[in-house]
């Protein structure tokens, strides 16, 4: 799949943004006043900024409101509802903490739940697609949720939680990769089933339909950079999980904390890039590629 920068930015930033909001909703840290203002501003910039970035890849962003209509069947529509609900509820919590020095625990918990629901809906947009076997697994929501929780804990200044959640999400990440490498082969979809010609013999793509690439190939038969996949995986693990943990283990300083957050964001972005670039869409089989 084509790794569109806007979608990578969206899933990375909004994931960690909603993660941070979820921790703030739980009252961890129990901030009020100016500190709360700073925390909530960062969280909203990340979460809402990510949502805005995601509209950049739309052909008709001016019709985006229509995306709220099909929540009965569409995960994208459910994500739209969940994100708006989460942002609204957490805005009330934030206003309470910043301006009135009060926290409403019940509302905060609802807000946290909605934040995690948003991340879950985002992950289901990918996990539901049988056409991309690498994504089509319950492990995808687990990966997104654990990353949001870990990144949120890091950003919320919760080293105790972060030191548990970061290694945990690292393990999920590795398991997700290992499963993903077998996913297409395990999906039973191959050139034989795509063309129905397998009974006659071995099928080879002889001629593509056109002499130059088309939308389908650009969007779904993206294969650039796969040969660097292993290096990128190592980089993602190092930056996203290992380095932040090490930085948390040494005595606290704001510089190291900022470094940990930056490193984590870089690692998650690399992992998201791979999430798309390595994902094989079955339509590639019609083009003799995967």
Partner 1 sequence: MTTLPETTDRKLGLVIDLDTCVGCHACVVACKGWNTEAYGAPLSDQDPYGAEPSGTFLNRVHSYEVQPEDGAAQLVHFPKSCLHCEDAPCVTVCPTGASYKRAEDGIVLVDESACIGCGLCAWACPYGAREMDAAEGVMKKCTLCVDRIYNENLPEQDRVPACVRTCPAGARHFGDLGDPESDVSRLVAARGGMDLMPEQGTRPVNKYLPPRPRDKLDQMEQSAPRLDPVIEEPGGFLGWLDRALEKL
CB of 117 to partner 1, least distance (A): 16
Tokens of 262: 């930056």
Residue 182 within binding range of partner 1, rule CB under 8 A: no
CA angle centred on 282, ends 79 and 286, rounded to 5°: 140
Tell me which stretch binds partner 1 (CB under 8 A): 21-29, 99-107, 188-196, 254-262.
Answer: 188-196
Give the nearer residue to partner 1 in terms of CB position, either 111 or 284. 284
Residue 80, classified by CB atoms within 10 Å of its CB into exposed (0-12), middle (13-18) or buried (19+), is buried
Give the nearer residue to partner 1 in terms of CB position, either 7 or 28. 7
Tell me which stretch binds partner 1 (CB under 8 A): 42-50, 144-152, 167-175, 280-288.
Answer: 280-288
CB 136 within 8 A of CB 129: yes
Instruction: Supply the Cα-derived Rg of the chain in whole angstroms.
Output: 21
| Candidate residues 45, 58, 185, 249; the one interacting with partner 1 per rule CB under 8 A | 58
| Interface characters, 80-119, with partner 1 (x: CB under 8 A) | x---------------------------------------
Q: Which residues contact 166 (CB under 8 A, 6 or more apart)?
A: 150, 153, 154, 241, 244, 245, 248, 264
Within 193-252, which residues bind partner 1 (CB under 8 A)? 193-197, 199-216, 219-220
104 DSSP 8-state letter: -
User: Cis before residue 30, ω within 30 degrees of 0?
Assistant: no
Residue 121 within binding range of partner 1, rule CB under 8 A: no
Give the nearer residue to partner 1 in terms of CB position, either 5 or 213. 213
Residue 254 within binding range of partner 1, rule CB under 8 A: no
Residue 34 within binding range of partner 1, rule CB under 8 A: no
The CA distance from 236 to 242, in Å, is: 9
Q: Which residues contact 105 (CB under 8 A, 6 or more apart)?
A: 27
Query: What's the distance, Cα to Cα, between the start and end of the chain in Å?
Result: 10
The CA distance from 240 to 165, in Å, is: 12
Give the nearer residue to partner 1 in terms of CB position, either 69 or 253. 69
Q: Using CB under 8 A as the criterion, which residues of the chain lie in contact with partner 1 when the complex forms?
A: 1, 57-61, 63-64, 66-70, 72-77, 80, 125, 128-132, 187-189, 193-197, 199-216, 219-220, 281-283, 286-287
């Amino acid at each position: 799949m084509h790794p569109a920068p806007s979608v990578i930015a969206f899933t990375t930033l909004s994931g960690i943004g909603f993660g941070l909001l979820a921790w703030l909703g739980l009252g961890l840290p129990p901030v009020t006043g100016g500190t709360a203002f700073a925390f909530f501003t960062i969280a909203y910039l990340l979460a809402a900024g990510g949502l805005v970035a995601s509209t950049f890849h739309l052909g008709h962003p001016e019709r985006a409101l229509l995306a709220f209509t099909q929540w009965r069947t569409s995960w994208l529509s459910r994500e739209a509802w969940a994100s708006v609900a989460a942002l609204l509820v957490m805005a009330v919590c934030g206003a309470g903490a910043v301006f009135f020095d009060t926290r409403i625990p019940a509302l905060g918990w609802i807000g946290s739940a909605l934040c995690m629901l948003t991340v879950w809906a985002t992950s289901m947009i990918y996990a539901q697609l049988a056409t991309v076997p690498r994504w089509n697994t319950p492990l995808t929501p687990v990966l997104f949720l654990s990353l949001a929780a870990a990144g949120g804990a890091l950003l919320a200044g919760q080293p105790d939680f972060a030191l548990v959640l970061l290694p945990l999400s690292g393990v999920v990440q590795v398991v997700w990769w290992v499963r993903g490498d077998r996913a297409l082969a395990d999906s039973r979809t191959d050139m034989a089933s795509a063309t129905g010609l397998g009974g006659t013999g071995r099928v080879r793509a002889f001629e593509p339909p056109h002499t130059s690439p088309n939308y389908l190939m650009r969007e779904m038969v993206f294969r650039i950079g796969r040969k660097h996949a292993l290096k990128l995986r190592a980089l993602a693990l190092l930056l996203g999980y290992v380095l932040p943990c090490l930085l948390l283990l040494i005595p606290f300083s704001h510089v190291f904390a900022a470094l940990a957050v930056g490193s984590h964001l870089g690692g998650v972005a690399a992992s998201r890039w791979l999430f798309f670039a390595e994902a094989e869409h079955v339509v590639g089989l019609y083009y003799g590629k995967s």
